[in-house]
Amino acid sequence: CELAPTLGVREARSADFNAKRMQLLESADAREFYAGQFRQRQGGTAILNSPRVYAELVGIQTNLYKNFIVRSWSLLAEHGIAGLLHPDGPYDDANGGKFRRAIYPRLRAHYHHKNELQLFLDVDHHTDYSINIYAGTSGDIRFRHMSNLFHPQTIAASISHNRATEAVPGIKSDDNRWSIRPHGHRVVTVTERELQLFADLLEEDGADAKTSRLPQLHSQELVGVIAKI
């Protein structure tokens, strides 16, 4: 609270704030400051939830990073590329079909990570996030997809890996460490065909493939398993 910083420092409860609110707003300067802050907050919230400005986010729980994804697309040139690291929520939100319909035609690569190696020290080690490469314009759906990554160095090494006879490494190594070993079969190419398989498995009957949630596929072989299921 800018009007009484000690309340924030002492982590005062909401009841304490409410009890002292009228005292804090006794002066005209304080009331003017409060009104200005209130208008900014309410205006910002209205913009971030606006169906006109962020039509792709209608119907889902929005937050700032989803707004940032949509805004980044409008900043790209026709042949531009954006790389964003953000939470993986858009891909598993049961209500996020409309957003995914906008994402998939722009998506060129999706690399799902787990923070178990604590690459982000101030983030809980259970946290999932992903590196996402978006194109400046929509096109046919075709993107690289990798899941269960613990370090980004596994990405390039898997793309260049050409020893197909090697077994695909698991999530953990033989010595019970989080595996960062690359393999070419870790890289899954997703097109509308694969999205249809995912929709048949994960969504209601007749769901549009372009709105399907994206499962965490550890290797190419799992696509065949899903097809059989």
Q: What is the pLDDT of residues 96-105, one digit of tens each?
A: 999 999 999 9
Beta bridge partners of 190: 143
C-alpha span between 62 and 39 (Å, rounded): 20
Closest of 119, 99, 117, 179 to residue 146, by C-alpha: 179
In tens, the pLDDT along 188-217 reads 999 999 999 999 999 999 999 999 999 999
When pLDDT is cut at 50, 70 and 90, the band that residue 42 belongs to is confident
C-alpha span between 143 and 124 (Å, rounded): 28
* Token output for 93: 């939100």
pLDDT of 187 reads 97
C-alpha span between 119 and 5 (Å, rounded): 33
Mean pLDDT to the nearest integer, 77-81: 94
C-alpha span between 111 and 91 (Å, rounded): 12
pLDDT at 21 over 90: no
Would you give the DSSP letter of residue 12? -
pLDDT of 80 reads 96
C-alpha span between 73 and 199 (Å, rounded): 25
**H/E run at residue 197:** helix 192-202
Question: Would you say how long the chain is, in residues?
Answer: 229
- CB 147: neighbour CB atoms within 10 A? 22
pLDDT at 229 over 70: yes
* Token output for 103: 């994402």
Cα angle 192, 193, 195 (rounded to 5 degrees) comes to: 60
